[in-house]
Amino acid sequence: MRALITIIGILLVILGTVWVLQGVNVLPGSFMTGDVRWAIYGAIAVVGGIILIAASRRRRSQPPPAGPPAV
């Protein structure tokens, strides 16, 4: 499950970067070129992807230590 969340996060970062570049007219060639809304949507996607990657990479807490052995 963690690997899937990481992959989704990476895809969001990549797609968001493309959208930002198209929105600010750096990467031409689509209907999104020069439309600032796509730069905003891309920035949101990048932030969401980073959050997903960070959440999937965070270590889970250690399980509580076992009690004394039964005699």
pLDDT digits (tens, 9 = 90+) for 35-58: 999 999 999 999 999 999 999 988
Q: Count of CB atoms within 10 A of residue 52's CB?
A: 20
Closest CA to 10 of 44, 51, 40: 51
pLDDT at residue 68, rounded to an integer:
72
Q: Decide: 45 and 15 in contact? Cβ < 8 Å.
A: yes
Closest CA to 35 of 24, 49, 50, 48: 24
Average pLDDT over residues 16-36: 91
Q: Crossing angle for the helix pair 2-23 and 36-57, nearest 10 degrees?
A: 160
Q: What is the pTM of this model?
A: 0.78
